[in-house]
Amino acid sequence: MTSAVRGSVRRRATGAGLAALLLAGGAVACGGKGDQSPEMTPAAAVAKAAKNTQDITSLHYRMKGQYPEQGQITAEASMRLKPTVAMSMKMNVPSQGAEGAAEIRLVDKAMYIGGNPEMAKEMDGKTWLKFDLSALGDKQLGAGAAGAGQAEQNPAAESGFLTGAKDVKKVGTETVDGVETTHYRGTVTLDELKASLKKESKDVREQREKSLQQYEKLGVDTMTMDMWVDGQDRTKQFRLKGQADKGPLDMTITFVDYNKPVAVTAPPAKDVADLAEMMKDAQG
């Protein structure tokens, strides 16, 4: 494999991997029990739903929308948060044609991207490309470095963002995937989000700070967020919109289920091309 081909594969795979990891990091998890009181204020309802996300162990969700530079994206994923982080996602970026379909797996601190016949043609028949997140540095990961660390963060960190908005309001009641929900909306700046972290516990604050970094890197200053909360104070759906340096960000995440077993396995070694080894060969 020539260095030019390696570069092409790495750029395409890194772009897909970054989008997947950021989107996974951006997923708002669901959890918790209890009946929502009719008298609860919009801010209190949002805060309760956000708090209920902190104890989940796994989730299954769908995503769709627009991501900067990538364009329209659809994906479905299962993610385990405890005892260790693992994820399996099938993603499609229509604007990239046949090259836009990929499967991403995150397991044992390694990310695998595969399922694309075009990529296999450029990797001597290998159908998966491995990113060893613990071995590759920022320079080797390129843009993917921003998402690599975020992938191991609790995705529930995102759900707390709406609690930082000062204008949270009730939009109405809607049915999402057959579930009756209450729809809330608010707008918040990154500075307001940072200020709101002061009242949080250390663990929550650290999670949200790391999550905020991805939006700073994208150049998003203000976010409009919609949250659909079910009758058990769980987040059933979440939408985040903002303007990034390289285009609009508008993603909707719908939760299918939560706290069910999620098993993710690495692809067979014979089918995997290791990016770290490819980089060593290229340098040589």
Q: Tell which wins on pLDDT, 37 or 67.
A: 67
Q: What is the Cα–Cα distance from 131 to 133, expressed in whole angstroms?
A: 6
Amino acid identity, residue 109?
K
The DSSP string of 37-48 is PTT--HHHHHHH
In the predicted structure, residue 50 carries a pLDDT above the cut 90: no
Q: What is the Cα–Cα distance from 264 to 42, expressed in whole angstroms?
A: 37
Among 43-52, 95-104, 131-140, which is the least confidently predicted range? 131-140
List of residues 6+ apart from 167 with CB closer than 8 A: 186, 187
| Percent of all residues in the chain with a pLDDT value above 70, rounded to a whole number | 75
Phi, psi (5° rounding) for residue 32?
95, 165
Confidence of residue 226 (pLDDT cuts 50, 70, 90): very high
The pLDDT of 148-173, averaged and rounded, is 71
Confidence of residue 199 (pLDDT cuts 50, 70, 90): confident
Domains and CATH numbers, the chain: 3-283 (2.50.20.20)
DSSP-derived 3-state class of residue 19: helix
pLDDT of residue 26: 43
Q: Tell which wins on pLDDT, 68 or 19.
A: 68
Q: What is the Cα–Cα distance from 184 to 172, expressed in whole angstroms?
A: 7
Q: Tokens 């044609």 label which residue?
A: 97
Q: Tell which wins on pLDDT, 105 or 2.
A: 105
Phi, psi (5° rounding) for residue 213?
-60, -35
pLDDT of residue 187: 94
Amino acid identity, residue 7?
G
- 133, 136, 141, 142: CA torsion to nearest 10: 140
Q: What is the Cα–Cα distance from 34 to 36, expressed in whole angstroms?
A: 7
In the predicted structure, residue 97 carries a pLDDT above the cut 80: no
Phi, psi (5° rounding) for residue 67?
-125, 140
